[in-house]
Amino acid sequence: MLKSDSNKTVGVDHQNELPIGVFDSGVGGLTVLRALQHHLPNERYLYLGDTARLPYGTKSADTIVRYSLQAASVLVRRGIKCLVIACNTASATALEALRERYPALPIIGVVQPGAQAGCEASATGRIAVVATEGTVRGGAYQYAIAAIRPDARIEAMACPLFVSLAEEGWTSGPIVEAIAHRYLDTVFSAPQPPDTLLLGCTHFPVIRQALQKVVGPEVTIVDSAQTTAVALSSLLTSMGWLSKQEGQSRGVAVRFMATDGRERFARVAAYFLERSIPADSVELIDIALAEG
Amino acid sequence: MLKSDSNKTVGVDHQNELPIGVFDSGVGGLTVLRALQHHLPNERYLYLGDTARLPYGTKSADTIVRYSLQAASVLVRRGIKCLVIACNTASATALEALRERYPALPIIGVVQPGAQAGCEASATGRIAVVATEGTVRGGAYQYAIAAIRPDARIEAMACPLFVSLAEEGWTSGPIVEAIAHRYLDTVFSAPQPPDTLLLGCTHFPVIRQALQKVVGPEVTIVDSAQTTAVALSSLLTSMGWLSKQEGQSRGVAVRFMATDGRERFARVAAYFLERSIPADSVELIDIALAEG
């Protein structure tokens, strides 16, 4: 719907064929992109990874809002019909500021759909959340879950090594399992353990199978990438904004943009997308020049 | 010697009593600080961790130079007698630019002393270097070693999980050993393995004992933090710039500055310094306002 910052409405058919904008601080959001492509295969996507300024999790709220507005501005000016904030930190911190700046653009974050799905999956109300240090400290999942289900008992655990494992591509085997045991055993071997494990970091779906092995088959693992994709699919369907084109006629399915390190982006992207992408298909952009 | 950017020379006694400036992108440089304090216990130190903008390793050379000049500017304006770049990426990328900007200030990086010590320690000339991805890709250690010892056979390995382990405080035990085996076994179980392992990242001294266990006692581990401290000690001694004061009379031994996340800085610092520091002893500064 938005072709420029001026919020000019364009023809409905044209608007439906605009890509979905996806923004993350780096490569983690590619798990969200993969889920979106699975649920909405006819859509085109514009993915922006702010790799020059990652990680967002350790930065102040003002800085995260400014960076998120700059990233959104780049995507909006290229033309997108909706925006997915595929970054937990930015979702928790900048969602309201983005909605204020772009009131006519549907914007969806990963925290709310993840919290919703976690609450629905849990029979006992005992929910464990694994995330980065910044997300846990910010408390976004804890607040979102408590708002939906005030009786929930939430254990939020910062697991920074899971991020490094995902980026290194060490997604299964004894090392990832030993690290998962060290992070999770105390909570999951308690007398009344959680029945649901919510992956509150976009990197973590990459190690999902290893986590399932460690917590056991009786624990439901909820992945905010999947639930965000389902939420966006419902939203676009209800608005009549789905693409009408199919297959090759719609052009390149995904355009990638990064703010630094194209080679690294392409290499690490392979673990997250489960397919290789050539480095020269990643466009390098200078986001600091974008309007904040 | 320098009290301001104008390179104004001040009295010799006063200059000797100025602190040593230490700059890193985050907390890793604290291993260098610790080594400096061990070798130069009568000195005062001003430590700046640019935690808001870490990691430097994934950023472009222009950006690293700009950030390093800004950080140095903060330290120089507070008054320092010399500058230690306790960051491999900044040492490899910004040393010349810093020396050009501050021609009268002795400036020492960690790469050259580390490479020198690695060459001296190796009998066979087969040297393994472990570092971050950025340092390995930049090739600074490989070039520095080859310049000193052209016959050296260098294996440079990126070991990003070592950084996460150090920051998490998981410095010994089966997890760190399993990860070290995965990174190092191919090279160290080759027919003619390296006899020297050079720690090319300021985080790695924290896991030194685990690495020694994995590579075996016959391999010499060289730590650029130690060798940088020795090099600075020699330099200050030869210049007659050592502090004449001792013990309590010299005031606070170290002042810490960080550009974001004082609590995290203080917490992680404990693993690197092997002593706790209170969060409110870390001064939060806005480095972007400094002159680049």
**Residue A1, CB-side half-sphere exposure with 13 Å CA sphere:** 15
Which CATH architecture group holds A12-109+227-289?
A: 3-Layer(aba) Sandwich (3.40)
- Residue B291 pLDDT more than 60? no
| Chain B touched by A52 (CB under 8 Å) | yes
Which pLDDT belongs to residue A62? Answer: 85
Residue B291 contacts A, CB cutoff 8 Å: no
B78 close to B222: Cβ distance less than 8 angstroms: no
Q: Give the pLDDT confidence score for residue A292 in this predicted structure.
A: 41
pLDDT at position B134 is 81
pLDDT tens across A139-160, in order?
999 999 999 999 999 999 999 9
Three-state SS at A65: helix
State the nearest Cα–Cα gap between B87 and chain A, in angstroms.
18
| Confidence category of residue A3, pLDDT binned at 50, 70, 90 | very low
ipTM of the complex: 0.83
Q: How many helices (H) and strands (E) does chain A have?
A: 12, 10
Return d(Cα B96, Cα B266) in angstroms, integer: 31
Is B289 within 8 Å of chain A by CB? no
Q: How confident is the model at residue A202 (pLDDT cuts 50, 70, 90)?
A: very high
pLDDT at B12: 55
Q: What confidence category does residue A129 fall into, taking pLDDT thresholds of 50, 70 and 90?
A: very high
B261: chain A residues, CB-CB within 8 Å = 58
Distance CA A116, CA A112 (A): 6
Judging contacts by C-beta atoms under 8 Å, the chain B residues touching residue A173 are none
What integer pLDDT is reported at residue A72 of this predicted model?
A: 96
Question: What pLDDT is attached to residue A260?
Answer: 84
pLDDT tens, A212-239? 999 999 999 999 899 999 999 999 999 9
Closest CA to A266 of A287, A252, A283, A251: A283
The most confident of B4-13, B56-65, B176-185, by mean pLDDT: B176-185
Q: Do A175 and B175 touch (CB under 8 A)?
A: yes
pLDDT over 60 at A103, yes or no: yes
Each domain of chain A, given as residue ranges in start order, spans 12-109+227-289, 112-224
Nearest CA-CA distance, residue B8 and chain A, Å: 35
Cα(A263)–Cα(A275) distance, rounded to whole angstroms? 15
Mean pLDDT in residue range A178-202? 96
- A160 to B164: CB separation less than 8 angstroms, yes or no: yes
SS3 label, residue B198? strand
Which segments of B133-268 are extended strands (E)?
153-158, 196-199, 220-223, 254-258
pLDDT at B195: 98
Interface with chain A: mutation pick from B53, B56, B58, B184, highest number of A CBs within 10 Å:
B58
The answer, for A175 touching chain B at a CB cutoff of 8 Å, is yes
For residue B51, the chain A residue with the least C-alpha distance is A58
Which residues of chain A have a CB within 8 Å of the CB of B53? 53
A170 touches chain B (CB under 8 A): yes
For position A248, what pLDDT does the model report? Answer: 57
Separation in Å, CA of A115 to nearest CA in chain B: 26
- pTM strictly above 0.90: no
Least CB-CB distance to A58: which of B59, B182, B261?
A: B261
Distance from CA of A216 to the nearest CA of B (A): 21
The pLDDT, as a whole number, for residue B247 is 63
Fold match flag (B12-109+227-289 vs B112-224)? yes
pLDDT per position as a tens digit, A31-76 = 999 999 999 999 999 999 998 888 887 677 888 899 999 999 999 9
Contact B51 A58 (CB under 8 A): yes
Report the CATH number of the B112-224 domain. Answer: 3.40.50.1860
Q: Could you read off the pLDDT of B57-102 as tens digits, one per residue?
A: 767 788 889 999 999 999 999 999 999 999 998 999 999 999 999 9
Q: Tokens in use for A185? A: 């055993």
Which residue, among A54, A58, A132, A184, would best test binding to B if mutated, counting the most B CBs under 10 Å from its CB? A58
Decide which of B12 and A13 is more confident: A13
pLDDT for the residue numbered A237: 94
Phi, psi angle pair for A23, to nearest 5° = -130, 135
Kindly give, in sequence order, each residue whose CB lies less than 8 Å from that of residue A207, ignoring residues fewer than 6 positions away.
A162, A165, A166, A171, A172, A176, A180
The half-sphere exposure of A97 on its side-chain side, counting CA atoms within 13 A, is 20
Instruction: Indicate the average pLDDT of chain B.
Output: 90
